[in-house]
């Protein structure tokens, strides 16, 4: 199954024209594109009890959707009765790409998309097989990836890799951290350590 999620934030009078090429791709199983309140959109992915599923995520930025990437995505996808496997591409570019790489901490302004590989399984089940699968699958996708969205970095990503991922902006972040949070109070995130 392939799903396309769109967000159009322009004048309502142009929405049908902007969405026409997507709707022209074929007859979808479900088409629930509609005007929606921003807060409702943000809550739309919530589930009643997130403790019911355990998740493992990999992510990385891509410059284009190359033929080799499409082949790797299709060839590596494996069904499994005890897990779901999701591959998604979040669109980048546009206004994101019109900001200089060194203007903010986020330095991947040249990316056209953020590729996500996700497996989930029933909470409490042994995750070993599912995580090993995603790591093998992701290894076939890594040749097409340059950097990653820092907030998606798992615990297996080293501090050095996170620092390098800022593409030269890390030293500025450390200076800000030293000035405004020298005790590292705000550390339950993609943490930038203050210098001692």
Per the confidence metrics, is the pTM higher than 0.95? Answer: no
Task: Give the pLDDT band (50/70/90) at residue 46.
Answer: confident
- Note whether 91 and 113 are within 8 A (CB): yes
- Convert the pLDDT of each residue in 50-103 to its tens digit: 567 899 999 999 998 899 999 999 999 999 999 999 999 999 988 999 999 999
CA distances 147 to 6, 65, 69, 71, 167, Å, are 24, 15, 16, 21, 9
Q: Is 110 helix (H, G, I), strand (E, B) or coil?
A: coil
**pLDDT over 80 at 1, yes or no:** no
pLDDT of 4 reads 83
Q: Which domains, from first to last, does the chain contain?
A: 1-46 (no CATH), 47-180 (3.40.462.20)
């Amino acid at each position: 199954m392939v799903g396309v999620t769109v967000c159009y934030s322009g004048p309502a009078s142009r929405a049908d024209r902007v969405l026409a090429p997507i709707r022209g791709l074929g007859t979808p199983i479900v088409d629930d594109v509609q005007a929606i309140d921003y807060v409702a959109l943000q809550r739309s992915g919530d589930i009643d009890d997130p403790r019911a599923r355990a998740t493992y995520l990999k992510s990385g930025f891509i410059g284009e959707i190359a033929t080799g990437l499409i082949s790797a995505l299709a060839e590596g996808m494996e069904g499994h009765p005890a897990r779901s496997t999701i591959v998604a591409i979040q669109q980048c570019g546009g206004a994101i790409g019109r900001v200089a790489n060194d203007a903010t901490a986020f330095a991947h302004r040249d990316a056209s998309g953020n590729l996500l590989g996700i497996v989930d399984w029933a909470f409490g089940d042994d995750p070993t097989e599912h995580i090993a699968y995603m790591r093998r699958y992701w290894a076939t996708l890594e040749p097409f990836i340059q950097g990653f969205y820092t907030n998606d970095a798992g615990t297996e990503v080293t501090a050095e890799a996170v620092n390098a991922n800022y593409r030269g902006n890390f030293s500025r972040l450390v200076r800000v951290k030293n000035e405004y949070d020298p005790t590292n109070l705000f550390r339950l995130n993609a943490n930038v350590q203050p210098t001692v």
